[in-house]
Amino acid sequence: MAGIRFATNTNDFLINFNKLDNNYKITIQLSPFSLLDSNQAKLGILEIRNGASGKSPVMFRESKLVDFLMKNTSGNEARIRFVLFNTSTPTNVQAINIVVTIQFPTCNAEYHSQTGIIQTSDWSNLSPLFERCNLIVKVQNGYHVILNFSDVFSLSLCNSTYDTLTIRSGKFFESYCRSPGTIILPENEAHISYTIGSPSRGFFLKFSSGCGANFSAESGVIYSPGYPENYINNLSCVYYINVEKIILIRYKNDEFFVPESRVQAIYNYNRYPTRTSLYGSGLLPPHYQDIYMRNWRWPQPYQVTYTNTCPKDYLLVQELSGGRSEKLCGVQNDENMNVLKFQGPLMLNFVSDASFNDKGFKIHYQSVGTLHLAFSIFYMHLHSFKCTFL
């Protein structure tokens, strides 16, 4: 912000703002003034144009202002000109106070990819920077965001309200003014907000995605990486549910697609022909599909397998106390709901090999405390039922 005062002996004063970045805007604030003599004759004029050219649209051209006035340019240029009409003799005029504010550009961007780079606009040339941005990074379901900041990170003043970086993801909320290094966030979406109001190099970061997470809430939803798109090969994702209560794991059959064999993957492909990459890196040729379909009798109904011998891809649910463990795998053809009961805390490990892949899973968990079941049974015998009306 800059304040400009014009002396009484100035007869033509011109200020142009025409070298700002295209994202910047200019606000000009005027205090009350008068360029009139005792006879109300004009001694001079103040002119403001919406642009740096003398032919730019006029925003203000007056010799008097009785109240505060604020003008906003539509672009990054402005022209302020102050002219005194009569300079042959000393002229006493009221000083004019003009406050010019350079507005921060506001950048709002969303990044929908598994990896990427984010940097402040002047990162490469160390020039003065004035910037305010709100960014969203979102990776696929089942993954969480990982931010890796460069070691060279400069927001000038840690105690300045104009130099801040905040990161929010679920319950995670932190502010920084120096490089935080690597941050592993709990969810698949991160909100990054920063304001830089002083000369600074800013920051440079790389974002990526990782699988696995820690859950401490009483309930939640866990996705396989990329769900509902196909998960990738050679995964090992570990999820912890840190709740020391009875935990119910719930999922619908049509939200669990973890084939235990290639035959199941082919079966699933024929049910969902838009599914991709079920036969290694490509699709099984049609004549092979026909052979499998002619020679394989599909179980009815085809349900998820609860076993400890899932040979390929599987989801392992393990009580951390060393008690019960279950491997889940298979595909299915109905919308039935499955409910499994475990004693928390739990570890869930999703593993895929290199043979095939599929949609994966979406499961819900809910803690219910110590499970108590109570039944009250009432019997009514109609022949002994008696009502008395008064």
pLDDT of residue 273: 41
In a domain, 204, yes or no: yes
- Across residues 343-366, what is the average pLDDT? 90
Q: Which domain does 304 fall in, by range?
A: 213-369
Residues 192, 198, 202, CA angle at the centre, nearest 5°?
A: 45
Residue 27: which H helix or E strand, with range? strand 25-30
How many folded domains does the chain comprise? 3
pTM (global) more than 0.85: no
Residues forming beta bridges with residue 329, ordered by sequence position:
305
204 and 78 both lie in a single domain: no
In a domain, 375, yes or no: no
188 and 280 both lie in a single domain: no
| Interatomic CA distance for residues 169 and 206, integer angstroms | 16
Domain closes at, from 103, 133, 159: 103
Q: Is the pLDDT of residue 301 over 90?
A: no
C-alpha dist (Å) from residue 295 to 62, 263, 290, 321, 360: 92, 11, 9, 45, 26
pLDDT of residue 346: 95
Domain closes at, from 87, 103, 119: 103
In a domain, 306, yes or no: yes
CB atoms within 10 A of CB 138: 17
181-185, 206-210, 372-376: range with lowest mean pLDDT = 372-376
Q: Is the pLDDT of residue 175 over 90?
A: no
Q: How confident is the model at residue 350 (pLDDT cuts 50, 70, 90)?
A: very high
In a domain, 362, yes or no: yes
Summarize pLDDT for 68-114 with one digit per residue, the tens: 888 878 777 788 888 877 655 555 666 677 777 666 555 778 898 88
In a domain, 389, yes or no: no
pLDDT of residue 376: 30
221 and 361 both lie in a single domain: yes
Higher per-residue pLDDT: 97 or 319: 319
Summarize pLDDT for 109-149 with one digit per residue, the tens: 889 888 888 877 655 555 445 667 889 999 988 888 999 88
Handedness of CA 80, 86, 87, 93 (dihedral sign): negative
Domain closes at, from 88, 103, 118: 103
Higher per-residue pLDDT: 119 or 249: 249
Q: Is the pLDDT of residue 245 over 60?
A: yes
Nearest Cα residue to 331 out of 291, 292, 278: 278
196 and 227 both lie in a single domain: no
303 burial via Cβ count (<10 Å: 0-12, 13-18, 19+): middle
pLDDT of residue 319: 94
195 and 62 both lie in a single domain: no
pLDDT of residue 16: 66
Residues 313, 316, 317, CA angle at the centre, nearest 5°?
A: 155
User: What CATH number is given to the structural domain containing 269?
Assistant: 2.60.120.290
234 and 134 both lie in a single domain: no
Identify whether the C-beta of residue 251 lies closer than 8 Å to the C-beta of residue 350. Answer: no
